[in-house]
Structure 1
Amino acid sequence: MSYIVSHATKWYYDYMLLTYQFKLNPTLEQVIILETWGELLRRHWNYAPGERLDWLRRTRSQIDRCSLVSEPIGEIPNKVDYYTQASDLKLTKELFPGYKNIYADCQQQNLMRLDKAWKRWLLPDKFGNRGGKPRFKKRGDISSFTFLRVNSPKAGAHLTGSTLKLSKIG
């Protein structure tokens, strides 16, 4: 099995998006790490839209017309969006130590992808079209993750010659 790592670069002055893809030849230990990251990111993905759908279900009806059968009565939760879920990443790492091994930018990019899909579903574009509801992922559905920065001081990926070093993977 081969692995592909992609890195996107945005050029704002001429609106061009360049993407570099690198084919990886990981060792057996690195394959285990990559598959573990994919599974943990899938679980986090599935939790995040569940949290958003719960918020949506609880806040859709007016308070004097709330269904006693299908909706729980209680405190109305705060709005759930990318920023609240990204701030909860610290708590996630405390509760589930496996997430400490994943590079933080990969987790944030996972949430950003979900946020884009969520906004496409809720908000129509300029033609009035909307996307479908973000789906929950099955095992193996998340097969990629993104390192935003390469060769910068806080980068998770460093490219020197033909060697790509990924943070927490090697």
Structure 2
Amino acid sequence: MARSAVYRPTPADLAAAEGEIIPDVLAPDLRVLFCGINPGLWSGATGHHFARPGNRFWPALFRSGFTSRLLRPDEQDELLTLGLGITNVVARTTAKAAELTAPELRDGGAALVERVQRYRPRILAVLGLGAYRTAFGRPRTIAGPQSDAIGDTAVWVLPNPSGLNAHYTLDALAAEFRKLRMEAGSLC
């Protein structure tokens, strides 16, 4: 069950969220469908994507110009009015993405392809180089647009916005999101 932004899960709430599945924020014909690796326990406990304090998805979305203000995770459904959505490669929650197996990521990649073919977003933006490399068998992938499309859907790979990803500062992450926004804007 989704809870308000002020809700802070207890350790027991987080433990109980292991293996939970939260609904996608999804509709047909979106401009961009953002795809996380999988939800964390904080997201599982709150029912909101990228909900853990320190996750930089929402600030990067705002700083890149996708949103006119900084949205909270509990406002995730507002993305649909902007032609944006959220899904995950793997649906189940874990404490860390490293708990996912390679077969699970590959199966999740196949399910993601089916979702993309059904909902037809203009761009799929996968948030996590390692997860994309494993899920789609592309070991040398770098951030940015990919040469492989899924039907008419262009594919981009962006850095993981987790606060644990020390390779990218928030400014660098927002710059990568901004490149995607510029491309998404040219498609409208």
Which bin holds the TM-score, normalised by the shorter protein?
under 0.3
Normalising to structure 2: TM-score of the pair?
Answer: 0.25
Normalising to structure 1: TM-score of the pair?
Answer: 0.27
Bigger CA radius of gyration: 1
